[in-house]
Amino acid sequence: MPSIIGPIVQLQVQRGPLKVGEKGAKRYVTDPIAVLERIRVSRDGVVGLDGGEEILDAHHRAHVLRKNEDGVHGVSVGFTSHYRAMQQRFGGHLRVGCAGENIIVEASRRLEPVEVGAGFVILDSAGREKGRLVDLAVAHPCKPFTGFAHRGEAVPPEVFKESLQFLDGGTRGYYCTWVGDPTLLEKGDLLATITSLRH
């Protein structure tokens, strides 16, 4: 059996942009995030399933925002352990999923870029492979999200810089590209690193 990182505990899509306002004065909002029981992933990105409704994630190549027309890095993954670290530093308002990742996985520790760089495998609860997430890229923090972490309060520039550094390096999660047929994901599916499947 591979070494599993943990089960998927939350699935969500972004209905629209999380950064709003005029250039130079943008702020971060979480209202467009929709938490769902199931999502469908494909090379084009993520579609949320809410009863009979399909909700295109803002990073799906077919979304009207046209944020990701080539479909690369159309899926994002975050970890509960990273949220615990963010909550410890900034406060409980950084609820799990507020950074907008599509897939939130229960994890007991921090996942560093060097150990997840080869990508992830998603398995069903019986251990059967459903597909892979490759081409990982660190989700670098933006200034609006960092301001949100500070509750919109003014902080000294050096403190803000330290916060940007803290939120970098995978803390804010990872962007990935789905490899495989369009597949339904649900809570309870398992995430493992690709390297952990090698024997």
Q: How far apart are CA 133 and CA 27, in angstroms?
A: 30
Torsion, Cα 86 95 119 161, to 10 degrees, reads -30
Question: Which among 116, 123, 131, 135 has a CA at the least distance from the CA of 196?
Answer: 116
Rounded mean pLDDT for each run of 10 residues along the chain, 199 residues in total: 86 95 91 97 95 92 77 91 98 97 98 93 94 96 96 95 98 95 97 69
**What domains appear along the chain, each with residue ranges and CATH number?**
4-194 (2.40.33.20)
* The pLDDT value given to residue 63: 82
* The pLDDT value given to residue 64: 75
Q: How far apart are CA 97 and CA 86, in angstroms?
A: 12
* The pLDDT value given to residue 195: 67
* The pLDDT value given to residue 2: 54
Q: How far apart are CA 24 and CA 19, in angstroms?
A: 11
Tell me how long the chain is.
Answer: 199
